[in-house]
Structure 1
Amino acid sequence: MHESNTLRHPSADIAATATLAESVRVWHYAQIRENANLGENCIVGRGAYVGTGVEVGPNCKIQNYALVYEPAKLAAGVFIGPAVVLTNDHFPRAINADGTPKSADDWHPVGVDIREGASIGANSTCIAPIVIGRWALVGAGSVVVKDVPDFALVVGSPAKRVGWVGTAGHPLKETSPGEWACPVTDAKYREIATDQLIEVQSK
């Protein structure tokens, strides 16, 4: 049934048990595994991989060659840049300590949980299990090894917070101690604790 939809390229490999909203676009050679669930208006780029049972909210973009391994969860409006990797094995090995090949029964997958509106820049790697907060921005090429707060701008390997971003994605400017504003929307934000920011006013 997926192959007949003109929004899905014939070369895409979409499992019969995957659930895709009618408006989902899937490009060349992408693979969407069994029981994955993609909401309205999602875009899955060329060569991208969406693992078994992965939950993807509406209006998400998964760019070319990104690897979204189960049991990742993407909330509404999440951006996954090109060649991003969301891992799922905290202690990766090909074999057990006794030399036998690892099977599905020999490890427990852990996921990356990405909250509403967050963006993961190109070629970044997120090491599960972690949570990427609402509207956070992970800079390109970063390696994320711990939870990222809402609205945080993190970069580097390991990724560290270097500032704050608003819902428009632009770095916020500090207008007074602990008070921040978006240069694009003029929305106001306030630091209420170490590494905790809230939006207090929108226009």
Structure 2
Amino acid sequence: MLNEEGPSPVIVVAESADVSDKAVIGDGSKIWHLAQVREQAELGVNCIVGRGAYIGTGVKMGDNCKVQNYALVYEPAELEAGVFIGPAVVLTNDTYPRAVSPDGSLKSAHDWEPVGVTIREGASIGARAVCVAPVTIGRWATVAAGAVVAKDVPDFALMVGVPAKRHGWVGKAGFPLQRSGDNWVCPETGAVYVEQNEILREVEA
């Protein structure tokens, strides 16, 4: 595969994966065994879709996203760059799910309006967590394993439980932040964050 600047990283698609020829797959991306990527889905460069994962019709993924084994990313979800989706995570798309209409007839795709989950840059969703659409997960936030998110999540928030509630903050490195005077500090990188009105922002170095 070539582009104007020379060789591009190879796209790897496992033989058992089901990738629509109408999907757009970015250079360097890898799609592993039994995964399905539907039509009009758009994956950025260097994305990874794990074994048995599902990427729905028209889903948009930014560069360097990871979708782990058996995660279900239903349309019209949007993942910005650097998003991590853990094993068996579910991003829903139906606010009031029903298999049939009140008259007992089977519902078709035209009988309901999908709603999506939006996940901002760098955020992580832990294993078996569920994000109930429509919700937005803020930049660099972390949703703990097994949590159920039904409300919007602020940037850098650490969300835990069912229903998910904020239990502190995390930095860009993913580590829980520690209180230091009026600020919050990342124990891994030393980055400093300031909280105001339950909104966290990183202090420029």
Q: When the two structures are superposed, what TM-score results if normalisation uses the length of structure 2? A: 0.94
Matches of 2:11 and 2:165, distance apart in 1: 42
Aligned length in residues: 197
Instruction: Please say if residues 11 and 26 of structure 2, whose CA atoms lie closer than 8 Å, have aligned partners that are also in contact.
Output: no
Q: Is the 8 A contact 2:11 2:28 kept in 1?
A: no
The 2-side partners of 1:189 and 1:201 are apart by 9
Partner of 2:181: 176
For residue 155 of structure 1, what is the aligned residue in structure 2? Answer: 160
For 1:25 and 1:31, how far apart are their aligned partners in 2?
12
For structure 1, list consecutive stretches of 5 or more residues without a partner in the other structure: none
Shift of 1:201: 3.0
Structure 2 SS opposite 1:154: strand
Structure 2: how far apart are the matches of 1:21 and 1:113? 20
What is the aligned partner in structure 2 of residue 200 from structure 1? 203
- What does residue 87 of structure 1 align with? 92
SS of alignment partner, residue 105 of structure 1: helix
Which residue among 74, 78, 86 is the counterpart of 2:79?
74
1: distance between equivalents of 2:81 and 2:33?
23
Partner of 1:201, secondary structure, is coil
The Cα of 1:161 is off from its aligned counterpart by 0.2
Equivalent residue for 1:164, pick from 150, 158, 169: 169
Q: Which residue of 2 aligns with 1:17?
A: 22
Structure 1 runs of 4+ with >6 Å offset: none
| 1:135 equivalenced with 2:140 (yes/no) | yes
User: For residues 177 and 41 of structure 2, what CA distance do their matches in structure 1 show?
Assistant: 35
SS of the residue aligned with 1:113? strand
Equivalence for 1:190: 194
**Where does 1:53-132 land on structure 2 (aligned, <5 Å)?**
53-132=58-137
For residue 37 of structure 2, the aligned residue among 8, 32, 35 is 32
Query: What is the alpha-carbon distance in structure 2 between the residues aligned to residue 192 and residue 7 of structure 1?
Result: 45
Give the alignment's Cα RMSD to 1 decimal: 1.2
Equivalent-residue separation in structure 2 for 1:146 and 1:37 (angstroms): 26
Note the residue ranges of structure 2 that are not aligned, 5 or more in a row: 1-9
Structure 1 pair 199–6 and aligned structure 2 pair: CA distance change class (3 A): closer
TM-score by length of 1: 0.95
The 3-state SS of whatever aligns with 2:166 is: strand
